[in-house]
Amino acid sequence: MMKVSRTGLIAVALFSSINLSFASVNKSDATAKTTSQAGMAAKGDQGKKAEAAAKMKVVDINSASKAELKTLPGIGDAEAAKIIGGRPYGSKAFLVTRNILPAGIYESIKRQIIARQPQHGAAK
């Protein structure tokens, strides 16, 4: 009788551990699905941002007119005149390093500007 009880207890313990391991696997699957869904949502948001950026007109600080520069947020007449007066720029970051614009304004427009370099030796 005693052996039956021990065997029964061992069997119950084994079944319990198996159930617990299945529960942890299911929990891991649920976590993975949630993480995957969150990743997909984040990719969707990035895609929308990239689309919006593609639609946004990029302004070349080496050739833009004063009116074009003024379309950028935080750029008024004085800032546009400073940008034009400091040309040419080897990089858009020169706007900050040459003290043309404050860092805050630069940070807000850096994705909307470029500093194209002239093509040397181009056919005319």
| CA separation, residue 88 to residues 23, 61, 63, 98, 113 (Å) | 65, 8, 9, 12, 14
Q: What is the DSSP string of 60-105?
A: ETTT--HHHHTTSTT--HHHHHHHHHT---SSTTHHHHTTSS-HHH
What pTM was estimated for this model as a whole? 0.54
> Within the chain, which residues score under 70 in pLDDT?
1-4, 14-55, 121-124
- DSSP label at residue 114: E
> What per-residue confidence (pLDDT) applies to 78?
96
The residues spanned by each domain of the chain are 1-47, 59-114
Q: What CATH topology corresponds to 59-114?
A: DNA polymerase; domain 1 (1.10.150)
Residue with tokens 């040397």: 120
> How many Å from the N-terminal Cα to the C-terminal Cα in the chain?
104
> What per-residue confidence (pLDDT) applies to 119?
82
